[in-house]
Amino acid sequence: MTPDRPDPDALLALAREEEERAQRGRLKVFFGAVAGVGKTFAMLESARELQRRGIDVVVGWIETHGRQETEALLTGLPILAPRTVEHRGITLRDFDLDGALARRPAVILVDEWAHTNAPGARHAKRWQDIEELLAAGIDVHTAMNVQHLESLNDLVGKITGVVVRETVPDSAFERADQVELVDLPAEELIKRLEEGKVYVPDQAARAVQQFFRPGNLIALRELALRKTAERVDAQMERYRQLHGIAATWPVAERLLLAVSSGPRSARLVRAARGLAAQLRAPWLVVYVETPAEARLPEEQRRRVWETLRLAEKLGAETAVLTGQRPAEEILRYARRRNVSKIVVGKPAHPRWKDFVFGSVRDELERGSDEIDVYVISGESHDGGFSAPPPLPGPTSPLRAYLASAAIVALSCGVGALLFGRVEPTNLAMVFLLGIVLAAARLGRGPSILAVVLSVAAFDFFFVHPYLTFTVTDSEYLITFGVLLVTGLVISTLTQRLRQQADVARDREARTAALYAMSRDLAAAAD
């Protein structure tokens, strides 16, 4: 199998994304498990370092919560005046977005990313204020706890029993240019609470009893660590795409399941979900639509989409691939997504069918290299794919040419059985059939070899005088010429069909990318 080359379209898209990022401000998020781990403290220390380097830094909004050590770091930093709002007889103070845009510093600190703005503000949420600052080209530093992330909101509520109302969309978090994890062990955080370094004493006692229990802190800390690790993994995948790195970097587990129209695909999905849960790994589910699969009855096609929807409900990322050879498409996609383990179904058919029709599982095992291949029960077909036509394509050029010669030898054997029973010119059809098989399964080069060998073998074994290349009847020259031209035309047309299939696969990949982008844009708009 030939190594993948960098996708020019993907590289161009990444380059455009980098260009768009260069025109926006950069967002740095100080991320932690809970209040009191030191996010604001770390943000202010970073700001003072930037100021020492001569960078224009302004404090737009900071919540010190009365912590003296945090307030001390504000000394010497320019602070933007807050916006005041009268609401129901109460004077509210909030971040002044217009003042920040007018001041236009190089870097502005805006704490409490998930905060809900006071009435009368241009935006309902502070994260929307920050988006406007970034669009204006201003770098922003902010802070947030893991429970304020939208996708983890329900999970945190189940763990702690506390429902958090203020959240930040995951799309905004994923667009952050830098996320710095501020971590503190649970024991040390509880000690800081008891010493009054997080909340005032009476608030600290209630916090320890209600929210800051050791079990809660351990769970929230794990969530924060995992979310940060996911982000680092996404950065690594982006780097691999940008530099066209095809080899898998198995720094973390990632599972890929290949499914089909088979009746047990749903069971495979559930089994793979359990395996992914045991490994604590993200998982992908792919379906490869081959020309044979494209002609499936409506019932089986509907089963495919139901299987993919089930996988999405169980938390998988799904994709539909197109191509002639399922194993090649699966391996290409797996390497692009840095997959460490591929899962396929255990075949239920007799072993001899693998020798006759080929085995997707065997091709995956031979071509997987650094990727582990797992075979699990639950699928009635070989890895979930319909058996390809006879003589599966070899995975190396030498094997392809040897297979081409074997096809010609087989044609000679069939011709020998028919010799004397049919006219010699009709035997040419046997060799033509072999040429069609070679063109369909082996590629252009091996099919041309089959054409040349077929003409030579037909002349040598079946045209008088036998066992010589001498031709006494000039009519056979026409037969040779027609056989040669027909074989070349068939191989050329087959090659074009392959190219069209490649174009269709690339088009499908671009369509999937556009769909993913539109889904992300819709999420950002919400």
Per residue in 165-214, pLDDT (tens digit) is 899 999 999 899 999 999 988 888 888 877 777 765 555 555 555 667 88
Residue 32 falls inside a structural domain: yes
**Are residues 12 and 126 part of one domain?**
yes
Residues 211 and 346 grouped into a single domain: no
Residues 225 and 260 in one domain: no
Number of domains composing the chain? 3
Say if residue 375 is in the same domain as residue 427: no
User: Does some domain include residue 521?
Assistant: no
Tokens of 446: 């091996």
Spatial separation of the C-alpha atoms in residues 147 and 157, rounded to whole Å: 8
For residues 14 and 23, what is the distance between their CA atoms, to the nearest angstrom?
15
Cα separation, 72 vs 10, in Å, equals 48
Compute CA 428 distance to the chain's CA centroid, rounded to the nearest angstrom.
Answer: 50
Per the structure, the complete domain to which residue 237 belongs is given by 8-242
Cα–Cα distance between 428 and 477 in angstroms, integer? 12
Same-domain pairing of 167 and 54: yes
Report if residue 340 sits inside a domain.
yes
The pLDDT-based confidence of 488 (bands split at 50, 70, 90) is confident
Angle between helices 214-242 and 153-160 (to 10 degrees): 160
Average pLDDT over residues 259-287: 88
Tell me: do 424 and 359 sit in the same domain. no
Question: pLDDT per residue over 416-455, tens digit each?
Answer: 888 777 776 677 778 878 887 887 777 777 878 887 887 7
Domain containing 56 — which CATH number?
A: 3.40.50.300
Q: Do residues 362 and 300 share a domain? A: yes
- The one-letter amino acid code at 177 reads D
Same domain? For 350 and 230 the reply is no
Residue 88 reports pLDDT greater than 70: yes
Backbone angles phi, psi at 504, to 5 degrees: -65, -40
Same domain, 46 and 76: yes
**Within this chain, do residues 98 and 34 fall inside the same structural domain, yes or no?**
yes
Look at residue 3 and tell me if it is in a domain. no
Query: Does 506 map to a domain?
Result: no
Point out the domain boundary residue: 208, 242, 276: 242
Q: Are residues 259 and 119 in the same domain?
A: no
Give the helix, strand, coil percentages of the chain, each rounded to 5: 55, 15, 30
Same domain, 174 and 307: no
Inside any domain, residue 524: no
Residue with tokens 């009365």: 66
3-class DSSP assignment, residue 165:
coil
Which of 211, 242, 273 delimits the end of a domain? Answer: 242
Domain stops at, among 242, 268, 296: 242
Asked if residue 222 is part of any domain, the answer here is: yes
- Provide the CATH number for the domain around residue 377: 3.40.50.620
d(CA 250, CA 270): 24
Over residues 311-320, the pLDDT tens digits come to: 998 989 999 8
Q: Is residue 44 part of a domain?
A: yes
